[in-house]
């Protein structure tokens, strides 16, 4: 019988799950005591308690990295807050309940900076999650994610609990295997697929330049983390982090850039094919202006961790999308 520690990764076929799988494959010797099992929505509907229980009974995990969620970009959230709230509440309650019942050693859930109050002081840190309502644009998803923190506290304080329930809070994640559906995606993958389509159309017409449409004014500020960097940090959390309170996994405040600047980096990544000029459509909502996160807690643990520069991460993501256009999620 294998003595490896089994790590169940929910949402294992998505953006972050695929990145963790890549990190695990590249560090087989260092992680030889673990067996990672990556599960996607096709294997189990985690909003269904019976299917979730069956999955846990089959896998019998020692650890859980809980990434599974119904996710979407600004406009998908705006139009479906009730659905995002209900489904994510169901998923989270089922996964944490099974982690508790199966007495896993550690359950690490993935939150988001959108859970923080809309009106607050900056930078935000791990102590500020519940100090006011989140932005109205995605309140359903935000409150569902917040409840993971509440559930973690409740399970950790339960007399018969033997599991460490904790959470990580990444900023805006992007990278290979992202969702490139223009209507449902986050900002960088949405920009990449729009740029790809604009370049393809311009080439078909014989033009030497094209417009890259950016929804909104481009002024909101964001911190972006490359999915492979986040994956490395989540694996570190699995191995090392023993606090019950969540930890923000993010680039520093000095790495925050505007949506407009992010769009320009996407345009630059296509510059070997054609010149893309940014075109801002201010008829679209900007959403929350900023949600600057403080990564001081992370830096106390890992002062020398090197994040991938965003321009390199975007170039690698664009190259992957070009090569995998037919099979990428759209």
Tokens standing for residue 42: 């096709």
Burial class of residue 132 in the structure, from the number of CB atoms within 10 Å of its CB (0-12 exposed, 13-18 middle, 19+ buried): exposed
Q: For residues 271 and 51, what is the distance between their CA atoms, to the nearest angstrom?
A: 47
CA dihedral (26, 28, 29, 35) in degrees, to 10, reads: 150
Query: Do 318 and 266 form a contact (C-beta atoms < 8 A)?
Result: yes
Give the Cβ contact number of residue 301 at 10 Å: 14
Instruction: Tell me if the bond preceding 105 is cis, omega within 30° of 0.
Output: no
C-alpha–C-alpha distance, residues 238 and 64, integer Å: 9
Q: Which of 34, 63, 141, 177 is catalytic?
A: 141
Is 141 among the residues known to form the active site? yes
Specify the length of the chain in residues. Answer: 330
Count CB neighbours of 244 within 10 A: 13
Point out the residues that are catalytic. 141
């Amino acid at each position: 019988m294998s003595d490896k520690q089994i790590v169940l990764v929910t949402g294992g076929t998505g953006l972050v799950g695929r990145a963790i799988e890549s990190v695990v494959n590249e560090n087989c010797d260092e992680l030889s005591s673990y067996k990672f099992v990556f599960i996607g929505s096709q294997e189990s509907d985690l909003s269904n308690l019976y299917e979730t229980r069956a999955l846990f009974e089959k896998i019998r995990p020692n650890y859980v990295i809980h990434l599974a969620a119904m996710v979407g970009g600004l406009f998908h959230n705006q139009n479906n807050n009730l659905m995002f709230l209900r489904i994510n509440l169901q998923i989270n309650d089922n996964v944490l309940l099974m982690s508790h019942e199966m007495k896993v050693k550690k359950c690490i859930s993935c939150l988001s900076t959108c859970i923080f109050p809309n009106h607050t002081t900056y930078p935000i840190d791990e102590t500020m999650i519940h100090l006011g309502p989140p932005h109205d644009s995605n309140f359903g998803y935000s409150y569902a994610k917040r409840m993971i923190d509440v559930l973690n506290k409740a399970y950790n304080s339960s007399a018969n609990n033997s599991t460490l329930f904790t959470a990580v809070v990444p900023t805006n994640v992007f990278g290979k295997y992202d969702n490139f559906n223009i209507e449902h995606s986050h900002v960088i993958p949405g920009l990449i697929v729009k740029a790809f389509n604009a370049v393809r159309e311009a080439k078909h017409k014989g033009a030497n330049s094209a417009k890259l449409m950016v929804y909104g004014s481009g002024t909101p500020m964001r911190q972006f983390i490359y999915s492979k960097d986040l994956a490395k940090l989540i694996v570190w959390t699995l191995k090392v982090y023993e606090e019950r309170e969540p930890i923000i996994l993010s680039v520093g405040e000095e790495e925050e850039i505007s949506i407009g600047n992010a769009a320009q980096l996407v345009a630059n990544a296509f510059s070997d094919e054609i010149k893309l000029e940014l075109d801002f459509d201010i008829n679209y909502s900007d959403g929350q202006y900023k949600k600057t996160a403080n990564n001081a807690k992370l830096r106390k643990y890992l002062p020398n961790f090197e994040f991938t520069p965003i321009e390199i991460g975007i170039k690698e993501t664009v190259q992957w999308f070009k090569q995998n256009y037919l099979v990428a999620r759209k």
